[in-house]
Amino acid sequence: MNSQLNHKERYEMEKLVEQKRNMYNLGMGPLGDGILQLTEHLNINVIFLPKDPKTDDNPLSAIYLASKEKGNQNLFFIGVNSAQHYDSQLFSIAHELYHHFEDTDNVHLCQRMECAGSKREHRANQFAASFLLPDKSLKEEIYIKNNYDLNMDNWELPASLRFIAKLHLDYKLPYKAIVHRLVEVGAIKDEIVFQALWSQSARNETSVYYKIAMSFDQDLFMLLNKQTHKVGANARLLDYMLQNFESSGVEIDELAEDLSLFGKTIGEFGLADENDSGMEDLMRKLKEEDEG
């Protein structure tokens, strides 16, 4: 039930979260998938590719890459495993944002949402959880619900589950990460209460928690629990690839191969392979009309 960071480290992380949220005018309320708009603002290219754990013993949840070369444009990438549940994908993006903010100079890989190991990874996880659900916001939610008393240990289990479900839907932070946050702000101190919450099968359709959350907002809760398997990249990266093709003489078949990684074709961007028979037929027809 203990946090991986000490009180001083957690305090410093909360100050960093507040600084970044203020810097980008995010306020302290729910951010959720607004984090995708933030990465766009920060010129970070987000790439989604599915890596199914059924076919990979230790699939990546996310990757961060910074390419900084003198005289050239800096490029930043976050790759997300879209075989994760959608709320976990958002957490992974927030995790990698920490590495972006700490000015990482090389590739950073994360094997799972709760990366074990170094203090650096614990800080990244703490940042992600706090960035999506800040201490200040969480405490205010509890105070409003609990007559300005932070302690939730005396709540009945269904009441706690309903409260967590509302946080889950509003802040789009995974269930267990919310339980961790309740411990970190001092709302849950009793080990028995913690275990009762931690043992919930939050993604099991037959569980009490799942039914409660579904009753609040079925469509949103199903999205948060969806393994999207999205393949794609944001518009900026695709445009960069097209500009690179137009300005540097990249062969069209190479561009087509690169675009195929994101489920795109050159035809979707008004381009066609010079060997495309449809294009050849059109050019031949135009030539015949001109000669006629």
**Residue 109 amino acid letter:** L
Grouping H, G, I as helix, E, B as strand and the rest as coil, residue 47 is strand
Q: Which pLDDT value is given to residue 290? A: 56
Residue 61 within any structural domain of the chain: yes
Average pLDDT over the chain, rounded to an integer: 83
Rounded-to-integer distance, Cα 123 and Cα 129, Å: 10
**Residue 45 amino acid letter:** N
Per-residue pLDDT, averaged over 38-59, amounts to: 80
The better pLDDT of the pair 195, 238 is held by 195
Q: Which pLDDT value is given to residue 258? A: 63
| Same-domain check for residues 216 and 266 | no
Expressed as residue numbers, the domain containing 279 is 234-291
Q: Which pLDDT value is given to residue 282? A: 46
Q: 62-67 and 232-233: which strand pairing?
A: unpaired
| Same-domain check for residues 165 and 278 | no
Rounded-to-integer distance, Cα 20 and Cα 17, Å: 5
Rounded-to-integer distance, Cα 168 and Cα 174, Å: 7
Residue 1 within any structural domain of the chain: no
Last residue in a domain, options 204, 224, 244: 224
User: 277: pLDDT confidence band, cut at 50, 70 and 90?
Assistant: very low
Q: Where are the beta strands (DSSP E) in 6-43?
A: none
Residue 175 within any structural domain of the chain: yes
- Is the model's pTM score more than 0.85? no
Residue 2 within any structural domain of the chain: no
Instruction: Report the number of distinct structural domains present in the chain.
Output: 2
The better pLDDT of the pair 219, 117 is held by 219
The better pLDDT of the pair 39, 272 is held by 39
**All residues at 6 or more sequence positions from 29 whose CB lies less than 8 Å from its CB, including other chains:** 137
Q: Which pLDDT value is given to residue 279? A: 43
| Same-domain check for residues 23 and 93 | yes
**All residues at 6 or more sequence positions from 22 whose CB lies less than 8 Å from its CB, including other chains:** none
pLDDT reading at 89 higher than 80: yes
Residue 46 within any structural domain of the chain: yes
Residue 229 within any structural domain of the chain: no
| Same-domain check for residues 44 and 130 | yes
